[in-house]
Amino acid sequence: MKKEKGDKKEEKVKEKDNELNRLIAVGDIHGDYEHFISILQHANLIDEDNNWIGTDAILVQVGDIVDRGNDTFKIFDTIIKLKEQAKEKGGIIYILIGNHEMIELQGNHYYTTTYDYELFGGLEGFEEAIGPAGKYGQFMRQEMNVTMVVDDSLFVHAGIVPEYLTEGVDVINEHAREILLDTPTIEGIHQLYLQNVTHPILTDPLFDLFNRLNPLWNREYANDPEEVVCPKVEKALELTNTKRMIIGHTVQPYGKIRTRCNNKIILIDIGISRCIGGGYYGYLEILKDKQEVWARYLGRN
- Any domain includes 55: yes
Residue 301: per-residue pLDDT: 59
- pLDDT for the residue numbered 279: 84
Tell whether 1 is covered by a domain: no
CA distance 150 to 28: 18
pLDDT for the residue 72: 94
Residue 1 is predicted with a pLDDT of: 28
Which residues in the chain land under pLDDT 70? 1-19, 300-301
Q: What is the CATH number of the domain that holds 63?
A: 3.60.21.10
Instruction: Give the pLDDT of residue 300.
Output: 62
Produce one character per residue of 71-91: b if its CB has 16 or more CB atoms within 10 Å, e if not.
bbbbbbebbbebbebbeeeeb
User: What total of structural domains would you count in the chain?
Assistant: 1
pLDDT for 19 equals 53
**Nearest one of 16, 11, 1, 10 to 244, comparing CA atoms:** 16
Residue 289 belongs to domain spanning: 8-298
Residue 283 belongs to a domain: yes
Q: What letter does residue 177 receive in the DSSP assignment?
A: H
In a domain, 290, yes or no: yes
Note the pLDDT tens digit of each residue in 98-134.
Answer: 999 999 999 999 999 999 999 999 999 999 999 999 9
Residue 160 has φ and ψ, to the nearest 5°, of -130, 125
Kindly give the pairing relationship between strand 282-287 and strand 22-26.
Answer: antiparallel
For residue 28, the model assigns a pLDDT of 97
Residues in the chain: 301
Confirm whether 244 is domain-assigned.
Answer: yes
pLDDT of residue 231: 98
Look at residue 271 and tell me if it is in a domain.
yes
The reply to whether 29 falls in a domain is yes
Q: In this structure, is residue 109 part of a structural domain? A: yes
